[in-house]
A and B are shown apart, each in its own frame.
Chain A
């Protein structure tokens, strides 16, 4: 459903600070050409500027303007950091975006904040080894029992092929340790019973006043009219088990590293 995200192209600080710990896996990460480019101070500066100057239009989560999702690295036309800086400075008059007269350090801060996925505290999350994380994902962690990555695995739980592009490190760690507290409301498990007695279980994909769309346990896309249902329940608890107590802190860090490396297929 959510394959519209363009692959993100940069990672910057969030991974670069552990770059020295990464050897074999670094080749697959495009952001390694500017290690240490941004500091935590840059990100913090950007965060403050963003709240004051940008959030009004782009929203607190960076996706309020159609066609742009700044936190997740989706832009209408920018590719490089220089492109982003130019858009901030010059604006996009035809799209209604004004130019901003900012100091170079302020521009750097905004770019850093955007590239950091709006995650000011993100540096606090330990990010381990991608290869080891992948092994955990496919083995001991049991993640592939429900999740799909790059075309393999079940579709019952959300496909994680681009999860590294759409979640911050701290959000991923929260998902692993306390899945319920991190479950996106749209993903809540549905249990519906039709008036003719059929029970349908699945994961919610969309809902409006009269209908709900989901993917059921047999991985079928299902659309239900609420008027046809005699029961409709959304679970507030995530069906995903926590890794706490099952994986060590090092293993969790490795898993986060692997998840962050998933940037979507081209």
Chain B
């Protein structure tokens, strides 16, 4: 293998320089999984399976992984970005809204684009950005002050800059955009500040808005009656994780966030559509084809901002087009993505806010008495961290928080533009009053909250039964996304700073590296000059691994 690579090197160099100038057409994006040397979209392909056909790194040789290069981020705070890799060039964002283009083989930087968001920008949970999208020679990034910018992928120059919403009303963008055909799609954050959420599509060439779908229907629109009075105006419904797309159905799927105020459902009676739902939109017009709501009249901040994972498999006999969804509310769902019909739903962690789901998938809610713990807690049984699905193992992989509960408190809150609109608060159930409680991210190098307030795991769920096939336990909770490959490897990390390669079939740990900083994004894999690499962000570093020379 090694010798072959060396002989082929001059040719590979020629090819690489040629590929640097190849256009990323919408057709290439549509067939992204058939060019596994690249990572062309946030989820690796339109299915968001984060499954790569690359198989050079195998269970047999994964022990020979070594660090090839490290990019050190000089910016403070959690780093949640998924990089793209296009023909040997990696594009990654860092806080608040920088884009870096680097050589995917050496980590050396070609250019840096810096965007300074308005000082009025408000985000609930950190100045996060989860990445860029690409079409042709242009990159697209949403900004913390709710702009969408287009950047020349060759030199980092800004091409256009479109304002989506009023930053003073606390609209923001933290997700990576999704490109479909000639349009760039994004959603807005701000679910803790009384926004009215939306998903919008823009012409990739000009930045002109093509369509906008409000996640809360206005007067006269269908399902507006799931709100009473003026509650819809500030009802939240943020969209802060990238959606998926089915080219055959021409439907794009997006998870919608919590209703506002977060913890006081009494202020917004009704189901509060389309909060905590998945919506299926016509990619050309933004027209709603169907919706499915996971948590009606949510009292727990159970955003449904998980990545919709699209899977084609047999369901109770015939071939079916499915959507797999492990929700923050603690249930794992299988939906028919053609119609939105509920097929099955099973709790994957301890749940006591609902006794079960009825035959249409609607939860039978069992609110706990005031002051009593609710499982799962505020950060959910899982959250936004991207899951993975392998068509080889037919297992669905995701990070979970176990034994983790919150005690919620609701209060009446008056809407004030741009101000926090959460309507109460919560505390995390701890064994000792005042003990450190698990939060949105690691706060200390010492694990001073311990597993007594919740612990993390990666689970492999069989979509057909909803049952766990295996579980890989971690002491601390984990916000890591997943990556799986055609060699049946599963890569993940966690807050402890370990980076793991697991056997995707059994969950056995095959290899680990201690990187020292929390992993709060998903790893990716790509290939340059015939060599497979795996990149992961840990703390303030982006580490790229490859196989050590020699061996086999």
Contacts and interface: CB of A to CB of B under 8 A. Distances in A.
B77 A66 contact: yes
Contacts of B473: 209
Given A64-B441, A182-B433, A184-B436, 7 more contacts: A52-B420, A52-B423, A52-B424, A66-B77, A182-B432, A185-B449, A209-B476
12 contacts: A52-B424, A59-B437, A59-B440, A91-B119, A174-B433, A184-B432, A185-B432, A185-B450, A206-B445, A206-B448, A209-B496, A210-B498
Given A53-B420, A208-B496, A185 B435 contact: yes
The A interface, classified by DSSP as helix, strand, loop or mixed, is loop
Give the 8 A-B CB pairs with smallest separation, nearest first: A51-B425, A93-B119, A96-B127, A185-B450, A64-B439, A208-B496, A98-B122, A185-B452
A56 interface: yes
Contact of B446 (A1, A60, A174): A1
B243 interface: no
A55 B425 contact: yes
B448 A186 contact: yes
A100 B474 CA distance: 38
The B interface, classified by DSSP as helix, strand, loop or mixed, is loop
Nearest to A168: B434
B19 interface: no
B450 A60 contact: no
A51 B424 contact: yes
Contact of B126 (A96, A98, A181): A96
Contact of B440 (A48, A64, A185, A208): A64
B125 A206 contact: no
Nearest to A53: B420
Contacts of B436: 61, 63, 184, 186
B475 A209 contact: yes
Contacts of A95: 76
Interface of B: 76-77, 96, 119-127, 192, 409, 411, 413, 419-420, 422-428, 430-437, 439-441, 443, 445-453, 473-476, 494, 496, 498
A57 interface: yes
B413 A52 contact: yes
A1 B448 CA distance: 11
Contacts of B121: 93, 98
Contacts of B433: 171, 174, 181-182
Contacts of A101: 419
A205 B430 CA distance: 18
A239 B453 CA distance: 22
A96 B76 CA distance: 10
Q: Which of A100, A181, A186, A205 has the most CB of B within 10 A?
A: A186
B117 to A, nearest CB: 9
B544 to A, nearest CB: 23
Interface string A187-217: 0000000000000000001111110000000
A149 interface: no
Nearest to B418: A98
A206 B442 CA distance: 13
Q: Which of B424, B435, B474 has the most CB of A within 10 A?
A: B435
A55 B124 CA distance: 10
A183 interface: yes
A2 B444 CA distance: 10
A56 B411 contact: no
A258 B41 CA distance: 60
Given A101-B419, A209-B496, A60 B437 contact: yes
Nearest to A180: B432
